[in-house]
Amino acid sequence: MLGFIFKRALYGLLVLFGVVTVVFFIFNIKPGDPARMLSDQRANEQTLEAIRKDLGLDRPILQRYLLYLNDIAPLSYNQLKDSESARYLDEDKYTVLAVIPLGSNALVLKLPYLRRSYQSQRKVTDIIKGAFPATFLLATVAMGAAIIIGLILGIFAALGKGGAFDRSILVVSVLGMAGPSFFMAVIIAWLGGYVWFEQVSIPLIPFYCVALGFVFFYLKKQYRGRSKEFKMKDPEPKSAIAFSFNWFGIGVLYWMFAGAVNWYFKGSVLPFVDHYAYLPGTGLNMFGSMTDVDPFYGEHYELKNLILPAITLGIRPLAIIVQLTRSSLLEVMGQDHIRTARAKGLSESRIIIGHALKNSLNPVVTAVSGWFASLLAGAVFVEYVFDWKGLGLEVFNSLEKEDLPVVMGAVLVIAAIFVVVNIIVDIIYAWLDPRVRMH
C-alpha cells in the first residue's frame, strides 16, 4: 500500500510541475506590459525600467521561469549575502521554516512564495488565504448536499427501475447536466432572490390530480379483485404513489394548457387555473457574501447567502451522482454474489447496504473527487453572479485588471487541490477494491 501511495504522489508532483510550466509561459508570453499598467501613462522610460527591474521582468524568460520555480518550491536554493541577487533570501518575502547554510548560499525549507499582486502589492498567498475559505465552504456544502441527495435518489431510482420515479429522476438529471453554471446562476438568483423572495404561489391543480389518482387507484384495485374478466385483461396496478405520480404530471400539463387558453381568451374558460396555495418566500438575497457588516453590531455571518450559490454549484454533480449510483447499483445487483446472498435468505435491505452499495461506489467516488476540485475552479462565474467574495470572484477581478500573479497563484492552488484530492481518492479506491493496487 505504501508503494502504491508513493507512486501516486510522484505522479501528482509531475502533474504539478507540468501545470506550473504551462501556466508560467501562458501568462508571461502574452502581450502587454505590466510596468506600464502599474505606472502613470505619462511615465518615462527610466521609471518603466525601474518597475520592470523591481518585478523581475527585465530578465530573459527562461531565467524568470527558473526563479519562479525556486520561489514556489518548498525546498529552494537561495543567496544569503548578496542582497542584489534575484535569489537573495529576503525574509520579508519568504516564510522560512529551516535554513541549511552552504557557504554564501543555502538550502531553504519554506512555504511557497507566489509573488506579490501588481495592483495592491500584497502577497498573493495572503490574498488567497483571505478568499479561499469562502470558496471552500461553498464547494463543500454544494458537494456534500449533492452526495447525500444524489446517493438517496440514485438508490431509489435503481430499486424502482422503469417506474415513474425512475423516469422522472432521469429526465431531471439530464436537465441538470445540460444547464451551464453561469446560466443556472442567473436563473436561480432571479427566482430564489427576486421572484420568490416574499411569497411563493403553487398551483393546486397537480395536487387535485394526485388526490384523484389515489381514488382511481383504490377503485381500480377493488374492481379488479371482484371481476375475473377485468383481472385477466388488465395487469396488476402499480403502487399508489407511482400511480398518483403519473396523475401529478397530467395535472401539470393541464395547468399549463388551461393557463394558455385562459390567457388567449382573456377569461376563465377552463376551471381551477387560478387556484393557488401561497407559501412564505425564500427571504434569500440575490447577492451577498458569507459575512456582512451591520452598522450597530459590526461584522457578522450571513450563512443564508450560501444557499442559492450552493444550489447552483451542486446541480450538475448531483445529476452525475444520481445517474452513476443508479447504473452502478443496477449492474452490481445483477451479479452472482447478490443472487447467492438472496439464495441464503438475506433481507433485501441487508443485501443492498452490506453487499451491493459498497461495490457500486467506486465510480461515484471517482466522480466526486473530480467534481469537488472542479467546483473550486468553476465557482468563478457563480461567485461573480452572486457577489460571493471567494477565490473565484478574486480571480475574475484580477483577470479584469490583468493582475497576473494573483491569477497564476490561484490556478496553481486549484491545481494542487486537484492533485491532492485525486491522490486521496486513489487511496480510497484501492481500499474499496484491492485489485487496483495490483495494476
Percent of the chain with pLDDT over 70: 86
Percent of the chain with pLDDT over 90: 3
Tell me, yes or no, whether 99 and 206 share the same domain: no
Q: Which of 198, 188, 384 is nearest to 289 (CA)?
A: 384
In degrees and rounded to multiples of 5, residue 397 shows phi and psi of -65, -35
pLDDT digits (tens, 9 = 90+) for 9-22: 888 889 889 988 99
Tell me, yes or no, whether 99 and 156 share the same domain: no
Tell me, yes or no, whether 227 and 324 share the same domain: yes
**pLDDT confidence of residue 437:** 56
Q: Hey, is 79 helix, strand or coil?
A: strand
Tell me, yes or no, whether 157 and 257 share the same domain: yes
Characterize 250-285 residue by residue with b for buried, 16 or more Cβ atoms within 10 angstroms of its Cβ, and e for exposed. Answer: ebeebbeebeeebeeeeeeebeebeeeeeeebbebb
Tell me, yes or no, whether 198 and 275 share the same domain: yes
Q: How confident is the model at residue 127 (pLDDT cuts 50, 70, 90)?
A: very high
Q: Domain range holding 94? A: 2-110
**pLDDT confidence of residue 282:** 81
CA 162 from centroid of its chain's CA atoms: 30
Write down which residue in 110, 142, 157 finishes a domain: 110
**pLDDT confidence of residue 237:** 47
pLDDT higher at 224 or 114: 114
Domain count, the chain: 2
pLDDT digits (tens, 9 = 90+) for 355-367: 677 777 777 877 7
Identify whether 324 is part of a domain.
Answer: yes
pLDDT digits (tens, 9 = 90+) for 172-210: 888 888 777 778 888 888 888 888 888 888 888 888 888
Q: What is the mean pLDDT of residues 278-289?
A: 83
Residue keyed to cell 450552493: 310
Q: What is the layout of strands, in order, in the sheet containing 75-79?
A: 75-79, 105-110, 96-102
- DSSP, res 237: P
- For 296, other C-beta atoms within 10 Å of its C-beta total 4
Whole-number Cα distances in Å, 403 to 25, 116, 120, 121, 145: 15, 9, 9, 10, 34
- For 313, other C-beta atoms within 10 Å of its C-beta total 33
Q: What is the mean pLDDT of residues 327-338?
A: 80
CATH for 306: 1.10.3720.10
Which residues have C-beta within 8 Å of that of residue 81, sequence separation ≥ 6? 104
203: left (phi over 0), alpha (psi -120 to 50) or beta: beta
Contact status, residue 82 vs residue 72, Cβ threshold 8 Å = no
**pLDDT confidence of residue 232:** 44
Identify whether 103 is part of a domain.
Answer: yes
Tell me, yes or no, whether 128 and 106 share the same domain: no
Q: How confident is the model at residue 240 (pLDDT cuts 50, 70, 90)?
A: low
pLDDT digits (tens, 9 = 90+) for 84-96: 788 888 888 888 8
> Could you give the CA distance from residue 111 to residue 107 in angstroms, rounded to a whole number?
13
Q: How confident is the model at residue 341 (pLDDT cuts 50, 70, 90)?
A: confident
Tell me, yes or no, whether 326 and 209 share the same domain: yes
CA 281 from centroid of its chain's CA atoms: 26
Identify whether 337 is part of a domain.
Answer: yes
**pLDDT confidence of residue 109:** 92
